[in-house]
Chains A and B, each alone.
Chain A
């Protein structure tokens, strides 16, 4: 969708929708928000709604970073320690590799 042809109010409302929807455990929406509205928020000449769009983009970026940190930590721990957890590791796994612990 081309943001150029949208009026500013609609841009703001779109940004807000993506921001709010991202709270439903959907960090990818925040990623989309940041990438899509980055130019709009920081590199366009000022207009009234830009301040709020900037705020939403910043908060989406923050939430995104938090999610990335949490997921990376969990994935690293799981991949490293799954074999040692024995039964718990097996019950948490969706597919268990064959032939290796």
Chain B
């Protein structure tokens, strides 16, 4: 009809026919395919998208309609979040000839019961408890760390699974189902039916070795990259400058490693709030680093403290395995002989009253005054939880502590899921506050984490050989902690973060994905935060700052000198930038398996992520197959019951 109109009425704008048929879905998040040495996990759609008749699932019994009795397969199932459970997903996976896809409606509030799509024993094959080292504790024999884990993230599905927010668009979808697809009183629903099409075709297949081989083939007409190894950068800094150009063992250097993890994941792509599993840990360490700034400069302890933030720990310890490997092969500024001990901050929780520390230690005891160092031996009844420290122990028996908020199994009910967010950590603000006010408001959670950070800072100071008399002057700043929590959990594009990072990146804050930079946004933010919180501000010109020297006459080699950054001062409308001198560096966090080209390695992480062309979804009304054939073969006849 539209074409006739445009011919007869010149000058009238014609709506595209496509817009009249399809409603495109915004705000959808897919699940993508990941591969490792032996398996592929995640979802796959066909190249031209999976089309299915919509069905809003009402209960687990209603699955029969989808899997057995429904007359118009394949169905595209809409799941409300209470129904996104392992039994239902396994049934859908097994009946996948009649299932075209699944769309999960992500609720606005967290579910009351826990939900964790991760496995029950995270990183069970790449930690320190394997068959070779200590079979008694292997495969979570003694303690099941994640009892709520249903393992959904690690299953393979051959239909697409998308997540949609519960907003107006989703209401349109539900209404479309109720209008067209609902079977009333046992009658079968008549065509035209409401259908959805989901595109998430993944290029990689089988396992990492296959996809890396296909990446490398340069014989074909159009060489295509099909997958990328998971990798990013670790951030590290030291309280005393360490010469980074001379790699390998440093004489007379004894280092205490303070470690935390930066990353987390969820079932869906690029949604990884990780509030309790990741953010709480590294925010605490950042606050502790700031608390130690003055103490380590005025009354320097014997040993250097090395703050390390590892990326990729969720996927078989990518960051920490890389750092240990670099240390063993003399590619890092220090090596394992220089490491005195390790203190790691894992999941740190929230408390009701901030006077009561809800921090318990695994396997080792500590007083809030000092630190008893003891070696991790199987004499203790409790193994170490999944932590970066395990990779150090695989290489060498180094003394260390892992600070967690649970005695045996995790208390985190939403480990590695999209619900591990600000709401779960109780980061909440009074209503009617502007973003600026929210940024500065000190929440209860922030106060609790500040206590933990103070304890960690004091423990690190003692461990590094500092005097106990200095302890009372080491205190973490609750203002900094609350701002960091706001920035990482509520809104990344805030005024404080904007002041910290270079001006050319500040305008893209909140949208710095993998495609924009080589490093991810959290790593970048942590790098600049650490520089600001542990660095000093020398009084030099911008030109000198960018050339990394003190003044024009300074020709000294830059190797020992800490790096300088260029940021903006607060309270200025015009971004002028100032110089910060700090010891912060990035180190590559790519699994050694890819450097060694051992894609079937059992020692190192071999995770890769598939590439894809386009990811989108749309809904429309679909006609019966008979009608489609009719329209094709008898174009002269008027189509019979097609009402749209």
B44 contacts chain A at the CB level, 8 A cutoff: yes
Q: A86-B210, A98-B224, A99-B47 are in contact. Are A91 and B203 (CB under 8 A)?
A: no
**Contacting pair B220 A94 (CB below 8 A):** yes
Interface centre among B201, B205, B214 (most CB of A within 10 A): B205
Residues in chain B near residue A86, CB distance under 8 A:
210
Residues in chain A near residue B210, CB distance under 8 A:
86, 90
Residues in chain B near residue A87, CB distance under 8 A:
213
A96 contacts chain B at the CB level, 8 A cutoff: yes
Residues in chain B near residue A96, CB distance under 8 A:
214, 217, 220
CA–CA, A91 and B222, complex, Å: 14
B345 contacts chain A at the CB level, 8 A cutoff: no
**Contacting pair A90 B217 (CB below 8 A):** yes
B411-454 CB mask vs A (1 if < 8 Å, else 0) is 00000000000000000000000000000000000000000000
A76 contacts chain B at the CB level, 8 A cutoff: no
**A-B contacts at CB below 8 angstroms, number:** 35
CA–CA, A98 and B33, complex, Å: 13
Residues in chain A near residue B206, CB distance under 8 A:
101
CA–CA, A101 and B211, complex, Å: 10
**Contacting pair B205 A95 (CB below 8 A):** no
Determine how close the nearest CB of chain A comes to the CB of B228; give it in whole angstroms.
14
B579 contacts chain A at the CB level, 8 A cutoff: no
B202 contacts chain A at the CB level, 8 A cutoff: yes
Residues in chain B near residue A93, CB distance under 8 A:
220
CA–CA, A92 and B257, complex, Å: 50
CA–CA, A87 and B203, complex, Å: 17
A100 contacts chain B at the CB level, 8 A cutoff: yes
Between A and B, 30 residue pairs with Cβ closer than 8 Å are: A86-B210, A90-B210, A90-B213, A90-B214, A90-B217, A91-B217, A91-B219, A93-B220, A94-B219, A94-B220, A95-B220, A95-B221, A96-B214, A96-B217, A96-B220, A98-B47, A98-B201, A98-B203, A98-B205, A98-B224, A98-B226, A99-B47, A99-B201, A99-B202, A99-B203, A99-B204, A99-B205, A99-B610, A100-B205, A101-B206
* Contact-residue bracket for chain A: 10 to 19
Residues in chain A near residue B610, CB distance under 8 A:
99
Residues in chain A near residue B202, CB distance under 8 A:
99
Determine how close the nearest CB of chain B comes to the CB of A5; give it in whole angstroms.
45
Interface of B is mostly: loop
CA–CA, A90 and B226, complex, Å: 14
Determine how close the nearest CB of chain A comes to the CB of B159; give it in whole angstroms.
13
Residues in chain A near residue B220, CB distance under 8 A:
93-96
Residues in chain B near residue A94, CB distance under 8 A:
219-221
Residues in chain A near residue B213, CB distance under 8 A:
87, 90
B212-236 CB mask vs A (1 if < 8 Å, else 0) is 0110010111101010000000000
Determine how close the nearest CB of chain B comes to the CB of A34; give it in whole angstroms.
33
B180-192 CB mask vs A (1 if < 8 Å, else 0) is 0000000000000
Q: Which of A54-101 contact B (CB under 8 A)?
A: 86-87, 90-91, 93-96, 98-101
Q: Name the 7 nearest CB pairs between A and B, nearest first.
A: A98-B203, A101-B205, A99-B202, A99-B203, A101-B206, A99-B201, A95-B220
Which residues of B pack against A, CB within 8 Å?
Answer: 44, 47, 201-206, 210, 213-214, 217, 219-222, 224, 226, 610
Residues in chain B near residue A98, CB distance under 8 A:
47, 201, 203, 205, 224, 226
CA–CA, A91 and B213, complex, Å: 10
Determine how close the nearest CB of chain A comes to the CB of B177; give it in whole angstroms.
29
A5-24 CB mask vs B (1 if < 8 Å, else 0) is 00000000000000000000
CA–CA, A87 and B202, complex, Å: 20
Residues in chain B near residue A101, CB distance under 8 A:
205-206
Residues in chain A near residue B214, CB distance under 8 A:
90, 96
Determine how close the nearest CB of chain B comes to the CB of A81; give it in whole angstroms.
15
Determine how close the nearest CB of chain A comes to the CB of B44; give it in whole angstroms.
6
Look across to chain A and name the residue whose beta carbon is closest to the beta carbon of B224: A98
Residues in chain B near residue A100, CB distance under 8 A:
205
Determine how close the nearest CB of chain B comes to the CB of A6; give it in whole angstroms.
43
CA–CA, A93 and B84, complex, Å: 41
CA–CA, A86 and B600, complex, Å: 14
Interface centre among A86, A91, A96, A101 (most CB of B within 10 A): A96
Residues in chain A near residue B203, CB distance under 8 A:
98-99
Determine how close the nearest CB of chain B comes to the CB of A86; give it in whole angstroms.
7
Look across to chain A and name the residue whose beta carbon is closest to the beta carbon of B206: A101
CB contact between B44 and one of A90, A95, A99 (< 8 Å): that residue: A99
CA–CA, A93 and B217, complex, Å: 10
Residues in chain A near residue B217, CB distance under 8 A:
90-91, 96
CA–CA, A94 and B224, complex, Å: 12
CA–CA, A57 and B204, complex, Å: 50
Determine how close the nearest CB of chain B comes to the CB of A82; give it in whole angstroms.
12
Residues in chain A near residue B44, CB distance under 8 A:
99
Determine how close the nearest CB of chain B comes to the CB of A66; give it in whole angstroms.
30
Residues in chain B near residue A91, CB distance under 8 A:
217, 219
Look across to chain B and name the residue whose beta carbon is closest to the beta carbon of A87: B213
CA–CA, A96 and B203, complex, Å: 10
Residues in chain B near residue A90, CB distance under 8 A:
210, 213-214, 217
CA–CA, A101 and B33, complex, Å: 14
CA–CA, A87 and B219, complex, Å: 14
Interface centre among A90, A96, A98 (most CB of B within 10 A): A98
CA–CA, A95 and B210, complex, Å: 15
Determine how close the nearest CB of chain A comes to the CB of B566; give it in whole angstroms.
43
Known: A91-B217, A98-B47. 12 other contacts (CB 8 A): A86-B210, A90-B217, A93-B220, A96-B214, A96-B220, A98-B205, A98-B224, A98-B226, A99-B47, A99-B204, A99-B610, A101-B206
CA–CA, A21 and B286, complex, Å: 79
Determine how close the nearest CB of chain B comes to the CB of A19; give it in whole angstroms.
35
CA–CA, A10 and B379, complex, Å: 99
Residues in chain A near residue B226, CB distance under 8 A:
98
Residues in chain A near residue B219, CB distance under 8 A:
91, 94
Look across to chain B and name the residue whose beta carbon is closest to the beta carbon of A86: B210
CA–CA, A98 and B220, complex, Å: 13
Determine how close the nearest CB of chain B comes to the CB of A70; give it in whole angstroms.
24
